[in-house]
Amino acid sequence: MMNQTIHFIKMHGAGNDYIFVDTDLYPIDNPEAASVILSRYHTGIGSDGLVLFGRSSSSDADFTMRIFNADGSEGLMCGNASRCIGKYVYESGMTDKWQIRLKTASGVKILDLGVDDNGLVESVTVDMLAPVQEDRHLFLPEGEELPEGVFVSMGNPHYVIFVDNINDVDVAKEGTKLENHSRFPERCNIEFAQVREDGIRVRVWERGSGITMACGTGACATAVAAAITGRSSRQSRIIMDGGTLNIEWREDDGHVYLSGPAVIAFEGTVELKCP
């Protein structure tokens, strides 16, 4: 058992909360186990997962990010976590750039910071690059069903299901089942979406974390799915349990842009005991 005292920052984007650690200062040897331990709400800090960030050693990026879900599995990308990193590195003086290149497991993402007159980051827009759509209903084994939906990859997999009334959906029951469906060998994030006059109401089941208050890539996938199916224009207001995110799927470059606030909840130190 290894004991290590680390400094952490608790941040969230629309309620999608993570524990952030600067690994230039506090390297973590076993981030999979650390994420499980620290993410527990009753015995740890409590979060949707652990995010490790640091300065990039390569010329193609300013900072790097690795994300681990609450169950210890490593994720490819998180739009909300990316926005939080942008806010923190600017406000803490780690950079004076208003545009930041962040290296993730799904490529380098560009963060554009909206900075006010007091030097505070009010909002962050992330270029999430181009979405990829697939038909996951193809080649289903006989007798096996998959609810009608739209599969969209935003660097990580999402399956968006449009419903008439989101309050009628048992997100935990359906999310657990669909995350592990045979058509998703890599497991999948599941979005349940209802199109309303004020925007698209979405509830999320994230692979490896369960129900979360928001999901940046899930918001992007939902906006793309709504546009593909004619339910919305290329600009969407995505209303999640923890807040609202704004999505634009631009025609000029085909990229999806995610905008919204990022919040630093608190900072502290914790003694991490990992095997």
CA–CA distance, 191 with 219 (Å, rounded to integer): 8
Tally of residues, the chain: 275
Catalytic residue among 84, 215, 220, 274: 215
Active site (annotated) includes residue 84: no
Give the CA angle between residues 41, 4, 94 to the nearest 5°: 85
The Cα-based distances of 215 to 17, 95, 98, 142, 207 in angstroms read 10, 26, 23, 33, 11
Please report the DSSP string for 118-171 in residue order. Answer: TS-EEEEEEE----EEE-TTTTPPTT----S-EEEESSSEEEEEE-S-GGG--H
The Cα-based distances of 102 to 52, 56, 87 in angstroms read 12, 8, 12
The Cα-based distances of 110 to 64, 136, 143, 159, 192 in angstroms read 12, 30, 44, 25, 28
Beta strand pairing status for 157-162 and 189-196? parallel
Which residues have a Cβ under 8 Å from the Cβ of 44 and sit 6 or more positions away? Answer: 37, 38, 270
Beta strand pairing status for 235-240 and 199-206? parallel
Are the C-beta atoms of residues 13 and 260 closer than 8 Å to each other? yes
Are the C-beta atoms of residues 48 and 265 closer than 8 Å to each other? no
Active site (annotated) includes residue 78: yes
The H or E element spanning position 80 is helix 79-91
List residues with catalytic annotation: 78, 215
